[in-house]
């Protein structure tokens, strides 16, 4: 029997923690990563908790879901590094 490709209906279901980070959140985090002079993603995630006026909340941001930053890789920085410079 041929294997069937199961088509899933595109229903956005918001579940618990092991879900992928909301792409909008990723986009915002990326923006702040750039604004902060390409600070590492862990620092970006922590920032709203330590400052006011950012208007964002990265509590649900999973750093592992962040895309690689082209600029960082060009200059040899690793935004995923936990104890970067
Ligand atoms: Zn970067």
What pLDDT score does 85 carry? 45
Q: Which residues surround ligand 1, an ion (CB under 5 A)?
A: 38, 69, 71-72
* 54 lies in some domain: yes
Neighbour tally for 29: CB within 10 Å: 23
* 58 lies in some domain: yes
Q: Which two tokens stand for residue 69?
A: 């930053």
Domain that holds residue 43: 23-74
- pTM beyond 0.75: no
Q: Quick one: CA dihedral 19, 30, 51, 83, positive or negative?
A: positive
What pLDDT score does 19 carry? 75
* 3 lies in some domain: no
What pLDDT score does 2 carry? 57
* 83 lies in some domain: no
* 50 lies in some domain: yes
Measured in angstroms, how far is the CA atom of residue 65 from the centroid of ligand 1? Answer: 15
Q: Which two tokens stand for residue 52?
A: 């006011």
* 70 lies in some domain: yes
* 43 lies in some domain: yes
Q: pLDDT per position in the chain (85 positions), as tens?
A: 556 666 666 766 655 556 799 999 999 999 999 999 999 999 999 999 998 888 999 999 999 999 999 999 999 999 999 864 4
Q: Residue 66 contacts by C-beta under 8 Å, 6 or more apart in sequence?
A: 21, 26, 29, 30, 33, 41, 79, 80
Q: Which two tokens stand for residue 60?
A: 């649900």
Q: How many domains, in total, are found in the chain?
A: 1
Among 26, 36, 35, smallest CA distance to 61 is for: 26
What pLDDT score does 1 carry? 59
* 6 lies in some domain: no
């Amino acid at each position: 029997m041929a294997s069937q490709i199961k088509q899933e209906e595109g229903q956005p279901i918001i579940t618990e923690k092991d879900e992928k980070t909301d792409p909008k959140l990723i986009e915002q985090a990326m923006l702040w990563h750039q604004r902060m002079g390409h600070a590492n993603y862990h620092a970006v995630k922590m920032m709203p908790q330590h400052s006011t006026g950012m208007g964002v909340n990265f509590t649900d941001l999973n750093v592992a879901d962040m895309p690689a930053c082209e600029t960082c890789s060009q200059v040899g920085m690793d935004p995923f590094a936990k104890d970067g410079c």
